[in-house]
Structure 1
Amino acid sequence: MNEPLAERVRPKTLKEYISQHHLIGAQGALTQQIKNGTIPSLILWGPPGTGKTTLAHIIAEESKRPFYVLSAINSGVKDIREVIDKAKQAGGLFTTKNPILFIDEIHRFSKSQQDSLLAAVERGWITLIGATTENPSFEVIPALLSRCQIYILNAFGKEDLETLLHRAMREDSVLRQKEITLKETETLLRLSGGDGRKLLNIFELVINSEASDRIEVTDAMVQAKVQQHTALYDKTGEQHYDVASAFIKSIRGSDPNAAVYWLARMIEGGEDVKFIARRLLIAASEDIGLANPTALVMANTTFQAVSAIGYPEARIILSQCTIYLATSAKSNASYQAIGKAQKLVRETGNLPVPLSLRNAPTQLMKDIGYGKDYQYAHDHANNFVDAEFLPEDIKGQSLYKPGQNARENALRDFLKKRWKDKYDF
Structure 2
Amino acid sequence: MRILLIIALVFLSAFSQTQNTKKRIETNKNSLRSTEILSQQLNKKLDDLANDIINGEKELKNIAISILKTKEQILNLEGNATAANKELDNLNEQNKDLIRTQKQTEDNIIRIIAEDFSLDLILEDGGVDESDEAIVATSVLSKLNNVLKDDLKKMAKNYEQTSNLIKEKSNKIEQIEGRIKEHKRKQNELIALENNQKKAIANLKRDKEIYTKKLAKLQIQQDELRKTLEELAIIAKKEDEAQKKAAEQKSKKQQQASKDGDIKQLGSSYQTSSVKRYTGAKTIAPLDDFVVKQKFGNYVDPIYNIKIFNESVVLRSKTLDAKVKSVLNGKVVFAKQTQLLDKVIIIENDNGIHTIYAHLSQIAPTIKVGVRVQKGYIIGRVKDDLTFEVTQKNYHIDPLEMIAQK
Quickly name the TM-score band, shorter chain normalised: under 0.3
Higher strand share: 2
TM-score where L is the length of structure 2: 0.23
With a CA cutoff of 8 Å and minimum separation of 6, indicate the structure with the bigger relative contact order. Answer: 2
TM, length-normalised to structure 1: 0.22
Instruction: Please identify which structure carries the higher helix content.
Output: 2
Larger Rg: 2
